[in-house]
Every structure is written in structure tokens, then in C-alpha cells.
Amino acid sequence: MTETVWLFTDGACSGNPGPGGWGALLRYKKQERELSGAEPDTTNNRMEMMAVIMGLRALTRPCRVQVVSDSQYVIKGIQEWLPAWRRNGFKTAAKKPVANEDLWRALDAEVAKHQVQWQWVRGHDGHAENERVDTLARAAIDQLREAS
């Protein structure tokens, strides 16, 4: 695992909850692959998580991955909160079920396959790749609306 795969991700929601989309951009050396998807009734946080999950699932072998996201929810969740949730049977400190447990478990499983580093960027601040994946996520919402 010498080369790093860059994974830029974003999620969007039109209403929260409401129709949502996610976008991911994988970059390895000079190759790029765009991914996106949408759900009719979801939340912004779920779409942020789906972007990372689907980006990691697209990798065909264990890799060193640099995930770049504007979601503090995803980055703090995976780095700070998840270890305690795992120990507590996916319960919060207040003994309540963890929100989005299904996606946290899926994300945890995908991250375990790779060497992942996390980088937060400010959203809608001119970061080229973040703007690109935001566009992918919003286009996925538009396609969902057109199809229904």
C-alpha cells in the first residue's frame, strides 16, 4: 500500500428530511471516477455517510485512502464517537440508540478494510473537489425528482 487513493465526498438534502443525494470522487494517480446516488426520503447526515460508504465500497482491494469531507458529523463520528458506541452496543452516553446505526456499522466495516485518514474541509468555500462532489449530489437529487 504505497499510493494513496483520494476520496472526496459530499451529501445533500432538499429538506431535512427530504429527497437526498450523495456524490463521491475517487482519484488514484491521474485516474478519476465519479459516483453518485439519491434516496427519496432521507437526511443530510445519511447522505454524507453514504458518500463515504459507497466510495470505499468502489475500491477493489485494500488501499491507503485519504477521505476529504465537509461533514463534521462523519469525521467526528468515525474518529471520536464510534469507539465508544461500539463498546456500548451502539448506545449513546444517555443509553439511547445511536442515530443512523445501520450506516455507522456499514461505514465501520468499510473503513476496517483500508488504511483511512480523514480530512475536513469547509463546505461551499471554493475547494474544487468539494464543489464537484456537491454538484454530483445535487444532480442526483434532480435526477431522482425527474424520474418520479
Annotated binding-site residue numbers for Mg(2+) = 10, 48, 70, 134
DSSP secondary structure of 11-35 = EEESSSSEEEEEEEEEEETTEEEEE
Task: Choose, from 23, 55, 70, 77, the residue flagged as catalytic.
Answer: 70
Task: Choose, from 10, 39, 77, 114, the residue flagged as catalytic.
Answer: 10
The Cα 113–Cα 52 span in angstroms is 13
H/E element, 143: helix 128-147
10 is annotated as an active-site residue: yes
70 is annotated as an active-site residue: yes
Task: Choose, from 20, 48, 55, 77, the residue flagged as catalytic.
Answer: 48
Give, to the nearest 10 degrees, the angle between helix 44-57 and helix 101-111.
Answer: 30
Specify the amino acid at residue 84: A
124 is annotated as an active-site residue: yes
11 is annotated as an active-site residue: yes
The catalytic residues are 10-11, 48, 70, 124, 134
